[in-house]
């Protein structure tokens, strides 16, 4: 079985009650995304971190990278939070990743009360790695190492890993209400994506299937609607309508004649930035 440590950023700034609600929404979205790809996992939350246990960690991490609210994740190995055990595990993680003559450093952080500081832990783990591999010419470089080994201690457990995998960040989709997203082209798809990243649940009014396919990778439970934008917003109690219009298109808002806000996330972007962001969310 593999273990993934999932982090969120912006959610952690909320009050405890709001954060628990956001965590609940985020975990629901994670499970829905995994189910959509026929992946099974056990998910639990502990002290501002979410842990995912699965027998298909590589596929699971690829899916979770597309869940809004996830800022980063790591493939981790765990042990008890004693110095000897952490030294041993840090060595096990580092040795196959070190190349002859390469440089490394250890970064440590703690949550809880322990008989050592984070700097002492980093020094102990670094010493273990160096002494076991010094014959290979490896050396410590605190500023520009080729390999970083991370040790995160959370009370009685420790987690060792070598990589942060970026997620989309933002807020959990569905935590900030609903919007009607007009999907007539790829600009509209990007606009909807940006509102989804801010926590909105999008109701998709689709005219262009190719553009909609971009969003289906990010929403495991896409909800399509039919009708006129204004009526759809009223019936579904949506808080606005999302479009990918440019500044030149803004006059179209008068033609729409709706009683809810019209959001224009791309209004300040030039064509080059729009294309760059579309490539990022389509890859």
pLDDT tens per residue across all 283 residues of the chain: 899 999 998 766 667 778 889 999 999 999 999 999 999 999 999 877 899 999 999 999 999 999 999 999 999 999 999 999 999 999 999 999 999 999 999 999 999 899 999 999 999 999 999 999 999 999 999 999 999 999 999 999 999 999 999 999 999 999 999 999 999 999 999 999 999 999 999 999 999 999 999 999 999 999 999 999 999 999 999 999 999 998 778 777 777 788 899 999 999 899 999 999 999 999 8
Residue for token pair 């999302």: 242
Q: How many CB atoms lie within 10 A of CB 37?
A: 13
Q: 209-216 vs 271-282: helix axis angle to the nearest 10?
A: 60
Tell me the CATH class for 78-161.
alpha beta
Provide the pLDDT for residue 80.
Answer: 97
What is the DSSP-derived secondary structure letter of residue 271?
H
Among residues 164, 160, 3, the alpha carbon closest in space to that of 95 is found at 160
Q: Where are the alpha helices (DSSP H) in 82-235?
A: 83-94, 118-133, 186-197, 209-216, 229-235
Could you give the count of Cα atoms lying within 13 Å of 225 in the half-sphere of its Cβ? 22
Provide the pLDDT for residue 148.
Answer: 98
CA gap 132, 96 in Å, rounded: 12
CA gap 179, 130 in Å, rounded: 55
What is the DSSP-derived secondary structure letter of residue 253?
H
Q: Domain 178-282 adopts which CATH fold?
A: Rossmann fold (3.40.50)
Provide the pLDDT for residue 15.
Answer: 76
2-71 CATH: 3.30.70.1510
Domain ranges across the chain: 2-71, 78-161, 178-282
Provide the pLDDT for residue 254.
Answer: 72
């Amino acid at each position: 079985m593999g273990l993934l440590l999932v982090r969120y950023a912006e959610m952690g700034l909320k009050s405890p009650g709001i954060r628990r609600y956001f965590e609940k929404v985020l975990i629901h979205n994670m499970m829905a995304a995994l189910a959509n790809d026929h992946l099974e996992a056990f998910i639990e939350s502990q002290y501002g971190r979410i842990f995912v246990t699965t027998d298909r960690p590589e596929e699971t991490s690829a899916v979770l990278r597309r869940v809004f609210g996830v800022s980063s994740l790591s493939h981790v190995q765990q042990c008890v939070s004693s110095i000897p055990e952490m030294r041993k595990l840090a060595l096990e993680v580092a040795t196959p990743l070190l190349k002859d003559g390469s440089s490394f450093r250890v970064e440590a952080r703690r949550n809880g009360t322990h008989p050592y500081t984070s700097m002492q832990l980093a020094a102990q783990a670094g010493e273990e790695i160096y002494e076991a591999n010094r014959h290979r010419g490896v050396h410590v470089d605190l500023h520009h190492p080729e390999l970083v080994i991370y040790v995160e201690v959370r009370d009685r457990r420790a987690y060792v890993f070598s990589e942060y995998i970026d997620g989309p960040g933002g807020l959990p989709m569905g935590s900030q209400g609903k919007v009607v997203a007009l999907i007539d082209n790829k600009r509209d798809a990007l606009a909807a994506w940006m509102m989804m990243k801010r926590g909105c649940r999008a109701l998709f009014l689709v005219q262009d299937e190719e553009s909609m396919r971009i969003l289906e990778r990010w929403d495991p439970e896409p909800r399509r609607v039919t009708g006129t934008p204004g009526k759809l917003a009223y019936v579904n109690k949506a808080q606005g309508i999302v479009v990918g219009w440019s500044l030149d298109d803004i006059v179209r808002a008068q033609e729409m004649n709706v009683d809810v806000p019209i959001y224009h996330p791309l209004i300040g972007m030039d064509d080059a930035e729009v294309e760059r962001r579309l490539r990022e969310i389509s890859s």
